[in-house]
Amino acid sequence: MARLELNVSLNRVEGDLEIAVALEDGVVAEARTIGTMYRGFEQIMIGRAPRDSLVITPRVCGICGTAHLYSAVLALENAWRLSPPPNATRIRNLCLMAEGLQNDLRQTFLFFSPDFCTSRYAGEPWFDEMTAMFEPFRGAIYLETLAMTRRLVEIVAHFGGQWPHSSYMAPGGVTLPADLRRISACRAVLQEAQRWYEQRIVGAPLDRWLALDRAEDYLAWLDEPLHAASALGALTRCARALGLHRAAAGTGHMLSYGSWRDPLESSPGAGASLLRSGFYDGDAGSVAQLDQELINEHVRHSWFRHYDGGRHPWRGETVPNYQPGGDRYSWAKAPRYGDKAVQTGPLAELLIGGDALIASLHAMEGGGAWLRQFARVRRIAYEFFYAQRMLDELAAEPHGEHFTPPAGSSEADGDGFGLVMAARGALGHWIAIRNGVIERYQIITPTAWNASPRDSAGLPGHWEQSLVGVTVKDPDDPIEIGHIIRSHDPCLVCTVHMLDTGGKVHFGA
């Protein structure tokens, strides 16, 4: 048996990622995902005014700053027992949906699809079609995606002043109300983008596409001329021809914090969501109610000072201990739900949230790289649907409150958490405020779940599991690993962790 150790670096993901894989006769026998970058975000938060989290934490990630802002504001509202007025929640949701649309389109058509246009596939029957659509800076869909995503983030700019990196959500609401001008402008953008999605991406009107609810019907749909000629139709045929629907299921357990808050059912920092939250138990095949107390993080295989088992983020500790060469191999911690390694992202979100088509496809052939990517394109339909609904509700009540000023000494001490579904999955912020300043801040990003290293029990994280069994044809160009990892929409800048400075860092021997 030929064993080959391979170190793969991946571009076209946000941030830097290295993966160490062991190939046995060309098949991945073992994988380790390595977070190679460390900025110490949570450390910067310590001692600052609580509201500074609204400025600092969106800068964790350039592609999902709105989601970080939303988590940060929910954590503060949870700590300070504040509930925003309904219109504030509508505006927050709308902006998060716009950011999600931007992400889902860019991730699919700028990051994932170009892999099918590389020379390796020049002989494949679908190569010319994929290249015509997705070749960087040449393909038709690629260029249209650049133009359309540029429009979509205007929605965030209308309410937040700019995208990326603004701080327009504040404890108590948002800084700007909806008005006739903003509502009309956002509606125009959404309508234009939705028409493009219907015509070019799925080849069907939104309601018909959302009504499709059975796997067989979708597979039959692939032959319908409009869908067949669409970007998703082409992508699906090609990905399935490569077997990506049978590859890389990873862990069967999934996590969703619930998509978008219900404007009418909010409690401080939380409340109901428009698509429900939960934990999908892959063994039982059922969804259990979410319990954030079950979340913990392990550091056994990360470059941090050891503690036993896992710790909830409120009790978390992150003292770096950089020792390359041993059995610790990543700056990412290992988050677990109870003792389970989970995956998160649009597949988890829609399966738990109750999308019938995703549930049917998942039941028929399990999860895999194609279904994960397919779920991301499917989620776009929900983002359009609910964004329009948010605008309708704002239009019906344009003079409703957008901000409830927190009473007097609002910045009291306390603990809070904020959980949202970011574009890439479950994002949580945990804050502890003491003496009026931040004493602790912990962030668990979606990529931290997916890119988790092994935990105290030696259990590999989701990517590490999903790579096992994958055949790599050319170790010099391990494109199969690219397909699989990119189907998760990885964001390595997100594997943030707190860092102490100077003397406590051990480097080398």
Partner 1 sequence: MRGTQVKTLFWLQTGACGGDSLAILSAEAPSFEQLLLSYGIELLWHPSLSHAPAKRFDALIEDIASGSQKLDILCVEGSIITAPRGTGLFDSYKGRARMDIARSLAERAEFVVAMGTCASFGGVHAASPNPGDCTGMQFNRANPGGLLPAGWRSRSGAPVINIAGCPAHPHAMTQTLAALAEDMPIALDPLNRPSAFFSMLVHQGCTRSEYHEYDIEDAQLGGHACLFFNLGCQGPLTQAVCNDDLWNGVSSKTRAGVPCFGCTAPNFPREADLFTTAKIGDVPLRLPMGVERARYMAYKNLARAAAPQRVKDKEMDV
Tell me how far apart the alpha carbons of residues 248 and 468 are, in angstroms, rounded to a whole number: 8
471 belongs to the binding site for partner 1 (CB under 8 A): no
Smallest gap, in angstroms, from Cβ of residue 279 to partner 1?
29
**Binding positions:** 42, 61, 64, 443, 491, 494, 497
E strand segments, 164-219: 169-170, 173-174
Residues 329-368 that bind partner 1 (CB under 8 A): none
Place of tokens 């005014």: 49
Sort 66 into a burial class: Cβ within 10 Å, 0-12 / 13-18 / 19+: buried
Euclidean distance between CA atoms 224 and 220, whole angstroms: 7
Q: Contacting partner 1 (CB under 8 A), which of 52, 262, 317, 439? A: 52
Q: 322 or 385, CB closer to partner 1? A: 322
Among the candidate windows 33-41, 195-203, 294-302, 464-472, which touches partner 1 by CB under 8 A?
A: 33-41
User: What are 6's strand-pairing partners?
Assistant: 21
Closest to partner 1 by CB, 298 or 497: 497
Least Å distance, CB 223 to partner 1, is 29
- Helix or strand or coil: residue 266? coil
From residue 448 to residue 467, the character string flagging contacts with partner 1 as x (rule: CB under 8 A) and all else as - is --------------------
Nearer to partner 1, 227 or 486 (CB): 486
Are the C-beta atoms of 253 and 281 separated by less than 8 Å? yes
Question: Where does this chain touch partner 1 (CB under 8 A) — which range of 72-80, 205-213, 340-348, 496-504?
Answer: 496-504
Q: Does 499 bind partner 1 (CB under 8 A)?
A: yes
Give residue for tokens 């509202």.
Answer: 77
- Give CA angle at 112 (9, 145), nearest 5°: 130
CB 330 within 8 A of CB 35: yes
160 near 70, Cβ under 8 Å? no
Minimum separation from the CB atom of position 376 to partner 1 (A): 17
Integer Cα distance of 498 and 476 in angstroms: 35
Shortest Cβ 78–partner 1 spacing (Å): 19
CB 292, CB 419: distance < 8 Å: yes
Footprint of partner 1 on residues 74-133 (CB under 8 A)?
106, 110-111, 114-115, 117-118
Please work out, in degrees rounded to the nearest 5, the angle formed at the alpha carbon of residue 32 by the alpha carbons of 27 and 38: 150
Query: Shortest distance, CB of residue 112 to partner 1, whole angstroms?
Result: 11
Of 31, 41, 215, 238, the one binding partner 1 (CB under 8 A) is 41
Q: CA–CA distance from 435 to each of 47, 212, 413, 438, 439 (Å)?
A: 9, 54, 6, 8, 8
Window 253-282: residues binding partner 1 (CB under 8 A): none
Residue 480 contacts partner 1 per CB under 8 A: no
Among 226, 264, 284, 505, binds partner 1 (CB under 8 A): 505
Report d(CA 228, CA 414) in Å as an integer.
55
**Contact window for partner 1 (CB under 8 A) among 237-245, 251-259, 377-385, 398-406:** 398-406
Of 40-48, 71-79, 259-267, 384-392, the window that binds partner 1 (rule: CB under 8 A) is 40-48
Q: Which of 6, 29, 55, 319 binds partner 1 (CB under 8 A)?
A: 55
Q: How far is the CB of 157 from partner 1 (least distance, A)?
A: 4
Helix (H) or strand (E) holding 77: helix 65-80
**Residue nearer to partner 1 on the CB measure, 249 or 484:** 484
Q: For residues 150 and 145, give the distance between their C-alpha atoms in angstroms, rounded to a whole number.
A: 8
Q: How far is the CB of 439 from partner 1 (least distance, A)?
A: 15
Min. distance of Cβ 404 from partner 1 in angstroms?
Answer: 8
Nearer to partner 1, 264 or 507 (CB): 507
**Ranges within 139-168 binding partner 1 (CB under 8 A):** 143, 146, 149-150, 153-154, 156-168
Integer Cα distance of 195 and 133 in angstroms:
18
Q: Label the pairing between strands 173-174 and 278-281.
A: unpaired
The closest of 167, 342, 164 to 255, measured between CA atoms, is 342
Question: Closest Cα to residue 332, out of 490, 168, 147, 164?
Answer: 490
Q: What is the DSSP string of 407-464?
A: PSS----EEEEEEEEETTEEEEEEEEEETTEEEEEEEE-HHHHHT----TT----HHH
**Which position among 75, 109, 493, 495 is part of the footprint of partner 1 (CB under 8 A)?**
493
Nearer to partner 1, 156 or 274 (CB): 156
Point out the annotated binding site for Ni(2+). Answer: 61, 64, 491
Binding mask 1-20 for partner 1 (x = CB under 8 A): ------xxxxxxxxxx-x--
- What number of chain residues touch partner 1 (CB under 8 A)? 85
Tokens of 206: 């939104």
CB of 57 to partner 1, least distance (A): 10
Q: How far is the CB of 83 from partner 1 (least distance, A)?
A: 15
> Which part of the chain contacts partner 1 (CB under 8 A), choosing from 60-68, 213-221, 242-250, 378-386?
60-68
Which one, 40 or 338, has the nearer CB to partner 1? 40
For the annotated binding site for Mg(2+), the residues are: 42, 443, 497
**Binding mask of the shown chain, residues 168 to 207, with x at each position contacting partner 1 by CB under 8 A:** x-x-xxxxx--x-----x----------------------
Q: Given the DSSP bridges, would you call strands 437-444 and 425-434 parallel, antiparallel or unpaired?
A: antiparallel
Instruction: Determine how β-strand 259-261 pairs with β-strand 254-256.
Output: unpaired
